[in-house]
Amino acid sequence: MQITIVAVGKVRESFVEEGLNMYRSRLAPYHSLSFVNLPEERIPARIS
């Protein structure tokens, strides 16, 4: 089974990065796992 995790924006907290690595290491023997990071889009102050 292929599992893809999609995240928006950059991981800013170190504990989140550690959690992702632990999750990846636990699932790796059983499933194919990939992470996709999408760039964060800024919303302009004035929406016209």
Distance CA 20, CA 35 (A): 9
List the domain range (segments joined by +) for residue 18: 2-38
Which residue, 16, 15, 33, is CA-closest to 24?
33
Residue matched to tokens 């929406």: 47
Domain-located, residue 26 = yes
23 vs 43: CA distance, rounded Å: 31
Could you read off the pLDDT of 35-46 as tens digits, one per residue? 899 998 888 888
Is pTM beyond 0.85 here? Answer: no
Within a domain: 45: no
pLDDT recorded at residue 43 = 82
Give the number of domains in the chain.
1
How far does Cα 37 stand from its chain's mean position? 5
In a domain, 18, yes or no: yes
